[in-house]
Structure formats: structure tokens, C-alpha cells
Structure 1
Amino acid sequence: MLRELHTNHLSFWLHLARCTSGTYWKLPRGVMVDTGIDGAAYNQVHCRADDEESIAEAAGYFGKRGLPWRVVSSGPASVTTVRGVEREPLYPIMSRDAVASEDAAVRADGLVVEVARTVDDVQEFVDCAADSFGYEPKLLEAICGPETVADERFQLYLGRSEGRVVAVAAGVSVPKDRTIGVYFVGVRPESRNRGFGRSVTARVIGDGAAGGAVTAVLQATPAGVPVYTGMGFAPVGDYLLWDFPHADPSHA
């Protein structure tokens, strides 16, 4: 099952690269993803933590481009330091059954959840996500193009309360693995603790199940684990992360 969950996670990042007119390519033992977004989480090498060749290639590539970047690995867990950088807190992988009938009934009071259909909708998604995550909106504006709404396997969700987008989420469907992935869940600070994050997450799962997914997957921050546990998710593994926030050609 972990293979299918990893596939979904990587599919999200590959699609984000397509949306931002970025690029990605296979390495002998990994995958590189360049979205061009100026944030370490958005430019990645997916490989084993002890794959020095792939990590060196990423360091050289992103260093020359002046982009921060991240190593994403499922192991080995014994590796704690990569190129002098200490590992980030564990990034739990969680899953649960995708059940349409159950999730369709989950609604937070006053919240209307819809799918982004236009570039203007995507801009609203970006504005809410930036506020939710404490980003500058310009960091995410690279996704505000027609490519973002062109692929039905990649959906952005808007949760509106009194007409304003206050919660967001993204969903990625991988039909061959029958998985629905939940990503980018965010709620504006002043709208938290009202069940809005749970509601947009449930909508993603319900739509995925209606499309044939049998398993829902997400990657939770440590703070988010109790919320998702309450929704029936259970930890099945961890991603190991190393962030290189200041691209330095001397690391190449």
C-alpha cells in the first residue's frame, strides 16, 4: 500500500510542476521536481536519504538556479543529517478508506464547498492558502493559470462562508492506484476551530470515492495528526525531509 500512497504524493508534485510551467525528470534512483516557486517545499528530489548521487545532482541544479529545495525520502530512518542539514520533524503519512456516503454528509455550519473552475477561482484559492499558511500571496501565484483547472484529476476546493473563501484544499486522484490524496488544506486564522478544515477535507475524500478511489491519503504536520485521526485516518509511515532554504552553489 505504501507504494500507492507514494505514487499519489509524487503525482501531486508533478502536477504542480506542470501547472507552474516547471519541469520534472527521472533520475536513476529518484525523481526531481522543479516548480520554480521560491520556497524549499516546492522544489524537491524524491530519493532514498542515503542516495548521495541524486542529492548531489539536486544540490547542483537548484544551486545554479538559486532556488531553495527539499529532499523527500521514505528512508532509511537512520539517516538524520544530509549535506550538513538536520532532518525536519517527521512528516506522517496517513490513510483511511474513502467512503462517499459518509463524507458527503460532513458539513460545517455556514460553509459551502465548491471546486475551482476558473483562473479567478484559483486566485481566490491562492489568497486563502497564503493567509492560512502565512505566505506572501506572490509565492503561490505561479499556479494561477489555465493549466491548474484543466486536469480533472487535480482539483482545488474552495470553502466559502458568507461569500468569502475561508478554507481550501486540493485533491489528486490516481485511478490506477484507486487513491485520492488530500493536500494544501488551510483555513484562515480567524476562521479556525469551526470545523472548516475537516469539511473541505471530507469533500475531497467524498469526491474521490465517487470517482472510484478506495483509499484516501494525506501527509500531516505533527499538529494536524489529532485532527485527521479524528476523521478516521491512521499513520502508515513517515516522510523524512531535509530543507535547503538558501540555495548555495558551494553545496553542489
Structure 2
Amino acid sequence: MLRELHTNHLSFWLHLARCTGGTYWKLDRGVMVDTGIAGPAFNQVHCRADDEESIAEAAGYFGKRELPWRLVSSGPATVTTVRGVEREPLYPILSRDAVASEDATAVAGGLTIDVARSVEAVREFVDCAAASYGYEPKLLDAICGPETIADERFRLYLGRAEGRVAAVAVGVTVPKDRTIGVYFVGVRPESRNRGFGRAVTTRVIGDGAAGGAGTAVLQATPAGLPVWTAMGFAPVGDYLLWDFPG
């Protein structure tokens, strides 16, 4: 099961690289993703934390481009320091059954949810996502193009309330593994504590189930873990993260 969930996670990042005009390639024992976005979470190498050769290759590649980057690993958990950088808090991988929900098509506390079908809608997504995560909107401008909405397996969800987008999420379907991944859930600070994050997540899972997915997966921050466990998600493992500056 963990392999299928990791495949879904990689699918998200590989598609993001396509959307931004970036690139990705296989290493001997992992995958490297270059989106060109100037944030460590957006340029990644996925490999074992003790794979010094792959990590050195990533460091050289991103260093030449002055890009910050992230090491994502499922182990070994005994590794705490990589290239002088201490490990981030554990990043739990969670899963639950994907089931259609009666409220998957609409509403929670005045929120209406739809899927981005135009570049303008993607810009609305970026504006809300940037506010939710404390980014400058220009950081995410690279995804504002037709490639982002070209693949039906990769959906940007917009939750609208009081005339603007208040909550967002990304859904990624991997049909061969029958998984629906939930990523980038964000709610504007002034719209929190109204159930909006739960609502957009429910919609993503419901659409995935309607498309044949049997399992939903997401990766939680420590702060978000109680929200997701309350929705029936259970931990199945942890990602180990190291963020390296540009």
C-alpha cells in the first residue's frame, strides 16, 4: 500500500513540473523534480536519506541554478542530519477509504466548490493558495498556464464564499493504483474554523471515488494532523524532510 501512496505523491510533483515547464528524471535510486519555483518545497529529490550519491547530484544541480530544494525520504528514520541540515518534523502519510459523499458536490457553511477549467480560475487558485500559505502570489505564477488544467487526473478545486475563493485543494488520481491524492489544501486566514478545508477535501475524495479510486491519501503537517484523523485518515508511515536553501 505504501508504494501506491508514494506513486500518487510522485505523480503530483511530476505533473507540477510539467505545468511549470520544469523537468524531472530518474536517478539510479530515486527521482529528481525541478519546477523552477523559488521555494524549497517545490524542487525535490526523492531517495533514501543515506543515498549520498543521489543527494550530492541534487545538491550540485540545484546549487548551480541557485534553487532551494527539498529531500523527501521514507527512511531510514535513524538519519537526522543531511549535509549539515537538521531534519524537519515528521510528515505523516495518511490514508482512508475513498467513498462518495452526499455533500461532495456542494456546500459547507456557504462554500460552493468547483474545479478550475480556465487559466483565470487557476489564477484565483494561486491567489488563495498564496494567502493560505503565506507565499507571495508571484511565487506560484509559473503554474498559471493551460498545462495545469490539461490533464483531467490533476484537478484544482476552488471553494467560493462571499464572492471570492476562500479555500483550495488539489486532487490527483492515479487510476492504476486506484488512489486519489489530496494536496495543497489551504484556507484564507480570515475564513478558517468554518469547515472549509474539510469541505474541499471531502469533494476531492468524493470525485476520486466516483472515478474509481478506492483509497484516498494525503501528507499532513503536524498542525493539520488532528483535522485529518477526525475525517477518518490513519497514519501509514512518515516522510522525512530536509530543506536546503538556494
TM exceeding 0.5: yes
Partner SS, residue 50 of structure 1: coil
Q: Which residue of 2 aligns with 1:250?
A: none
1:147-186 correspondence runs (5 A): 147-186=147-186
Q: Which residue of 1 aligns with 2:135?
A: 135
1:87 aligns with 2:116: no
Residue identity over aligned pairs, in percent, reads 85
Uncovered stretches (5+) of structure 2, i.e. residues with no partner: none
1:68 aligns with 2:60: no
Q: Which residue of 2 aligns with 1:3?
A: 3
Paired letter, 2:8? N
How far did residue 103 of structure 1 move? Answer: 5.6
Partner SS, residue 49 of structure 1: coil
Task: Tell whether the 8 Å contact from 2:29 to 2:54 is kept in structure 1 after alignment.
Answer: yes
Structure 1 distance, partners of 2:162, 2:40, is 34
Partner SS, residue 226 of structure 1: helix
Task: Tell whether the 8 Å contact from 1:103 to 1:205 is kept in structure 2 after alignment.
Answer: no
1:8-23 correspondence runs (5 A): 8-23=8-23
Structure 2 distance, partners of 1:210, 1:2, is 22
1:98-247 correspondence runs (5 A): 98-101=98-101, 104=104, 107-245=107-245, 247=246
Over residues 175-220 of structure 1, what are the superposed CA-to-partner deviations in whole Å (9 max), with x where a residue is unaligned? 0000000001000000000000000000000000000000000000
How far did residue 104 of structure 1 move? Answer: 2.3
| 1:68–1:99 CA distance, 2 compared to 1 (3 A) | same
Task: Tell whether the 8 Å contact from 2:105 to 2:203 is kept in structure 1 after alignment.
Answer: no
| 1:122–1:82 CA distance, 2 compared to 1 (3 A) | same
How far did residue 101 of structure 1 move? Answer: 3.4
Partner SS, residue 222 of structure 1: coil
Partner SS, residue 165 of structure 2: strand
How far did residue 100 of structure 1 move? Answer: 0.7
How far did residue 163 of structure 1 move? Answer: 2.1
Paired letter, 1:192? R
Q: Which residue of 2 aligns with 1:37?
A: 37
TM-score, structure 2 normalization: 0.98
Task: Tell whether the 8 Å contact from 1:92 to 1:237 is kept in structure 2 after alignment.
Answer: yes
Task: Tell whether the 8 Å contact from 2:70 to 2:244 is kept in structure 1 after alignment.
Answer: yes
Structure 1 distance, partners of 2:190, 2:65, is 37
Structure 2 distance, partners of 1:244, 1:101, is 40
Over residues 16-40 of structure 1, what are the superposed CA-to-partner deviations in whole Å (9 max), with x where a residue is unaligned? 0000000000000000000000000
Uncovered stretches (5+) of structure 1, i.e. residues with no partner: 248-252
Structure 2 distance, partners of 1:13, 1:209, is 22
Partner SS, residue 96 of structure 1: strand
Partner SS, residue 53 of structure 1: helix
Structure 2 distance, partners of 1:96, 1:83, is 35
Over residues 66-105 of structure 1, what are the superposed CA-to-partner deviations in whole Å (9 max), with x where a residue is unaligned? 0000000000000000001000000000000000135627
Task: Tell whether the 8 Å contact from 1:106 to 1:202 is kept in structure 2 after alignment.
Answer: no
Structure 2 distance, partners of 1:116, 1:214, is 24
Partner SS, residue 223 of structure 2: helix
Segments of 4+ in structure 1 off by > 2 A?
101-107
Partner SS, residue 36 of structure 1: coil
Over residues 195-248 of structure 1, what are the superposed CA-to-partner deviations in whole Å (9 max), with x where a residue is unaligned? 000000000000000000000000000010000011000011000000002x2x
Paired letter, 2:241? L
